[in-house]
């Protein structure tokens, strides 16, 4: 009798677990979810690289803000200022304004708080621009301040996402060289 009870219990547990798995599986006839809109995909990518750079800006100890792996490179703070400042080479021309004349100067952003605020502002301004354009506005034309050729706003934005990603990768090396672990590489709680 005990053997029959054990076997029955195991069969019941097995059936319930199979039923749970089947309930979570999508129906075979279910239509695939439609893709996100082009502006949402662009905005999500923009916000993702912004989130990573902002996390680094907030996380790095202030006494390491002027750290350079070697003298010929930009400091940690200068890397952040360059990446965030470059976003205005996208924002300004897309708004019909002149591009900046160069990188923001470290002397103008003397504290960690000032650098963090600038990084957040540049990504917030960029995100607001992308949102304001929506899907139809992403095909609007702007003049590339570097080549002086026309470019679609979306194409230019994707280029700056790549640019910011390159600087994110460089800052990961700064973290590692300084003996620190970047926020994105830490175990998730």
Dump pLDDT digits (tens) for 5-44.
565 555 554 555 555 555 565 667 889 999 999 999 999 9
- Stretch 162-170: mean pLDDT: 98
List domains and CATH numbers for the chain: 35-62+74-179 (1.20.120.450)
pLDDT at 28: 75
pLDDT at 19: 55
Q: How much is the mean pLDDT over the chain?
A: 90
Cβ neighbours of residue 106 closer than 8 Å, sequence gap 6 or more: 66, 75, 77, 78, 81
Judged against a pLDDT cut of 90, whether residue 60 lies above it is answered with: yes
Q: Which residue has the tokens 């940690």?
A: 76
pLDDT at 189: 80
Give the pair of three-digit tokens for residue 3.
């053997």
pLDDT at 3: 63
| pLDDT single digits (tens) 116-144 | 999 999 999 999 999 999 999 999 999 99
Judged against a pLDDT cut of 80, whether residue 93 lies above it is answered with: yes
Torsion of Cα atoms, 17 then 21 then 22 then 24, to 10°: 140
pLDDT at 18: 58
CA separation, residue 156 to residues 1, 30, 34, 115, 162 (Å): 74, 37, 25, 24, 10
- Stretch 78-102: mean pLDDT: 96
pLDDT at 30: 87
pLDDT at 188: 85
pLDDT-derived band at 96 (thresholds 50, 70, 90) equals very high
- Stretch 181-187: mean pLDDT: 94
pLDDT-derived band at 1 (thresholds 50, 70, 90) equals low
7 HSE (CA, 13 A, CB side): 4
């Amino acid at each position: 009798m005990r053997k029959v009870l054990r076997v029955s219990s195991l069969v019941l547990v097995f059936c319930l677990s199979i039923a749970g798995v089947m309930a979570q599986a999508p129906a075979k006839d279910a239509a695939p979810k439609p893709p996100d809109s082009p502006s949402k995909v662009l905005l999500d990518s923009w916000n993702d690289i912004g989130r990573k750079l902002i996390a680094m800006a907030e996380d790095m100890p202030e006494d390491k803000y002027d750290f350079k792996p070697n003298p010929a490179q930009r400091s940690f703070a200068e890397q952040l200022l360059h990446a965030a400042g470059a976003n205005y080479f996208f924002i300004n021309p897309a708004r019909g304004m002149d591009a900046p004349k160069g990188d923001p100067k470290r002397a103008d952003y003397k504290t960690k708080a000032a650098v963090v605020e600038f990084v957040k502002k540049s990504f917030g301004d960029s995100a607001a621009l992308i949102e304001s354009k929506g899907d139809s506005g992403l095909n609007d034309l702007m003049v590339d301040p570097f080549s002086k050729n026309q470019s679609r706003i979306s194409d230019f934005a994707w280029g700056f996402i790549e640019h910011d990603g390159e600087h994110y990768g460089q800052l990961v090396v700064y973290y590692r060289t300084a003996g620190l672990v970047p926020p994105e590489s830490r175990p998730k709680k």
